[in-house]
């Protein structure tokens, strides 16, 4: 079988960490006849330098045609002053928009070996495995009107509008319930129904979708502010959390701090199911940026990129066994005491990007 992956290494440490997960692809192709085919494109500053755009139409078309896109990171001081619509981030935004990636999946997993470096007490986070499902294409970030107007009396007024249509909540809720079935079968929906019409509506639609199609999944509701509190007080109570764009932005960053390090956090963004093939467009990327401060030195942590590929195996290719093997290999190298600089701890052995990748492949 042919599995088409489109690689966008981007800028900074992006190309370095991409090489490490390509090693895992080679392993899967050699030892498990996985049949992955790789194409590479340019995004961000690298694309701008080559042809003056943050991503070309050609590469967009290749992203659309692939089974999954693996994106590393974009940006850096070199492109700080380029025009707004061709800045590195514009490439990422175009991918999200054109692939209609409406569901952003941010796992917060605390590896046993890293529990001590969490912002919380180790016993609160050890073994933590939660998944935040954030709506990514709607809500207050995109709703109209969105403007600053002059009131004429020396005052101005800023307006953002939270807008959600039925179908937008139905599809993100369905993704959350489907994912819960592959995990601990529990979903907690977060909104502010006490003060927002859109929160009340969110609650109603999630409740209906649950009743109609996912009654086997355990559903609870929490006000988003209380949810933030609970995430820090007792994070292990959660399995899947589903929430809107704004609350999801904040809550996923809160959850990130529970896990220890930025260099460890993967993410996935999923699009609509193709009516004919049933396949979802999808892009996988580490949460961290291009880390220009350490780029080109061979010291970047490749584990977030590798964990993102584990998500890709799981969600785009249903290769559950391989995904679990990769996740287990990441946990094992940490248990064995291997550390890149960003997660270095006393008594551990410091390794570079490529040695870390090799260790995961060996594991
Ligand atoms: P950053 O995530 O690139 O770096 C923050 C700090 O964490 C730095 O000290 C960096 O060395 C360290 N770090 C990040 N990833 C690491 C890894 N894998 N291994 C070891 N250390 C790691 O965020 P920052 O510095 O705010 O932004 C740098 C550039 O990246 C900017 O141009 C920014 O716009 C861009 N960026 C891109 C993102 C993306 O492509 N999705 C996301 C965030 C920022
Ligand atoms: Mg954020």
pLDDT, one tens digit per residue, over 282-329 is 999 999 999 999 999 999 999 999 999 999 999 999 999 999 999 999
- What's the mean pLDDT when you consider all of the chain? 95
- Residues by chain with Cβ below 5 Å of ion ligand 2: 249, 253
Tens of pLDDT, residues 246-284: 999 999 989 988 887 788 999 999 998 888 888 899 999
Q: Does residue 1 have a pLDDT over 70?
A: no
Residues flagged as binding site? 76-89, 96, 106, 134, 225, 249, 253, 289-301
Q: What is the pLDDT of residue 122?
A: 87
Q: What is the pLDDT of residue 119?
A: 78
Q: Are residues 209 and 96 in the same domain?
A: no
What is the extent of the structural domain holding 170? 129-257
- Domain shared by 194 and 281, yes or no: no
Contact 308 CB / ligand 1 (< 6 Å)? no
Which pTM was predicted? 0.94
Q: Are residues 228 and 327 in the same domain?
A: no
Size of the chain, expressed as the number of residues it contains: 363
Classify residue 178 as exposed, middle or buried by CB count within 10 Å of its CB (0-12, 13-18, 19+). Answer: middle
Pick from 352, 342, 179, 345: which is nearest to 264 by CA? 342
Residue 235: CB atoms within 10 Å: 21
What percent of the chain has pLDDT above 70?
Answer: 100
**CB-side neighbour CA atoms (13 Å) of 161:** 10
CA 187 – CA 174 distance, rounded (Å): 11
Q: Is the domain of 89 the same as that of 165?
A: no
344 vs 119: CA distance, rounded Å? 16
Question: Can you give the CATH number for the domain in which 231 is found?
Answer: 3.40.718.10
Please check whether residues 3 and 95 belong to one and the same domain: yes
Per-residue pLDDT tens over the stretch 16-31: 999 999 999 999 999 9
Comparing CA positions, the residue from 262, 260, 264, 218 lying closest to residue 241 is 218
Residues 88 and 24 in one domain: yes
Is position 208 within any domain?
A: yes
Give, for 240, the enclosing helix (H) or strand (E). Answer: strand 240-243
Average pLDDT over residues 151-160: 96
Q: How far, in Å, CA of 162 to CA of 174, rounded?
A: 21
* 271 inside domain: yes
**113 in any annotated domain:** no
Q: Is 356 in the pocket of ligand 1 (CB under 6 A)?
A: no
- Higher model confidence: residue 277 or residue 85? 85
pLDDT at 274: 81
């Amino acid at each position: 079988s042919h599995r088409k992956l489109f690689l966008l290494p981007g800028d900074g440490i992006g190309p370095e960490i991409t090489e490490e997960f390509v090693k895992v692809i080679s392993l899967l192709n050699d030892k498990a006849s996985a049949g992955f085919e790789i194409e590479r494109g340019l995004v961000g500053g690298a694309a701008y330098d080559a042809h003056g755009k943050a991503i070309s139409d050609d590469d967009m078309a290749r992203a659309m045609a692939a089974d999954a896109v693996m994106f590393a990171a974009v940006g850096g001081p070199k492109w700080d002053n380029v025009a707004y619509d061709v800045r590195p981030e514009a490439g990422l935004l175009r991918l999200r928009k054109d692939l209609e990636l409406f569901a952003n999946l941010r796992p917060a997993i605390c590896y046993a070996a890293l529990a001590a470096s969490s912002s919380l007490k180790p016993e609160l986070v050890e073994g933590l495995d939660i998944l935040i499902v954030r709506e990514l294409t709607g809500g207050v970030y995109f709703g109209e009107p969105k403007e600053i107007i002059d009131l004429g009396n020396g005052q101005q007024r800023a307006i953002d509008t939270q807008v959600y249509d039925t179908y937008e909540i139905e599809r993100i809720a369905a993704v959350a319930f489907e994912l819960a079935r592959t995990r601990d079968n529990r979903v907690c929906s977060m909104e502010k129904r006490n003060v927002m019409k859109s929160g009340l509506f969110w609650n109603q639609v999630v409740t209906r979708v649950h009743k109609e199609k996912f009654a086997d999944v355990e559903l609870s509701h929490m006000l988003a502010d209380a949810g933030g509190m609970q995430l820090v007080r007792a994070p292990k109570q959660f399995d899947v959390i589903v929430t809107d764009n704004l609350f999801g932005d904040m809550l996923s960053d809160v959850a990130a701090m529970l896990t220890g390090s930025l260099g460890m956090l993967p993410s996935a963004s999923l699009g609509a199911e193709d009516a004919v093939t049933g396949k979802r467009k999808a892009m996988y990327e580490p949460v961290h940026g291009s880390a220009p401060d350490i780029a080109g030195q061979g010291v970047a942590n490749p584990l977030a990129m590798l964990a993102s590929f584990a998500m890709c195996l799981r969600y785009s290719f249903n290769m559950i066994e391989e995904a679990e093997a990769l996740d287990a290999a990441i946990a094992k190298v940490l248990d064995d005491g291997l550390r890149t600089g960003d997660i270095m701890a006393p008594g551990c052995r410091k390794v570079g990007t490529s040695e870390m990748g090799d260790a995961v492949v060996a594991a």
